[in-house]
Amino acid sequence: MIRGIIEASRRRGFAPAASWPGEERRDLISSAQAIKSRGQIPIIAEIKPKALGRPLTDEEVFAYARAYADSNACAISVLTEPSNFLGSLENAAIARKAGLPVLRKDFIFDLRQLSEVQADLVLLIAALGVDLNRFIEAARGHRMEPLVEVHTEEEMD
């Protein structure tokens, strides 16, 4: 499945680099600490169009993001992979307007993907076999905090 997703992404190509119009990166740790200081559990809420079986309209994406912000989520995870998860880069940009840190969830296998959208965090999947240290450094260079997903003890090394 992962190989198919990566091949579909390669065929689709890469989006032009997104700009950061003077906005600061939103910090997940600070957001989570603010939620905890109010006696609540920090939650990363997710926008996952595949769960509904269809792409979301811009209005729906913003409505979900706003509802998550109003419900005290500390961040919003947005799937941006279109072929299998019906996500989009636009969904991440729209969700960011709700004011919370946004985590871009996708299969990041090429450094060019790190500049495609404004996000505060980016998921890096160890199983993809990329040079994680290089991708972590590049993500930080794009003002994104990397969140690394591992499935085995070997992937943690």
What is the tens place of the pLDDT at every residue in 84-115?
999 999 999 999 999 999 999 999 999 999 99
Whether 80 is covered by a domain: the verdict is yes
Whether 132 is covered by a domain: the verdict is yes
Whether 21 is covered by a domain: the verdict is no
Whether 58 is covered by a domain: the verdict is yes
C-beta contacts of 69-73 below 8 A and 24+ residues apart: 69/98, 69/99, 69/100, 71/45, 72/35, 72/38, 72/40, 72/43, 73/35, 73/43, 73/44, 73/45, 73/100
Whether 24 is covered by a domain: the verdict is no
For residue range 107-145, list pLDDT tens digits in order: 999 999 999 988 999 999 999 999 999 999 999 999 999
Residues spanned by the domain of 68: 2-12+30-151
Whether 18 is covered by a domain: the verdict is no
What global pTM score does this model have? 0.90
Structural domain tally of the chain? 1
What's 45's domain CATH number?
A: 3.20.20.70
Q: What is the arithmetic mean of pLDDT over 52-73?
A: 97
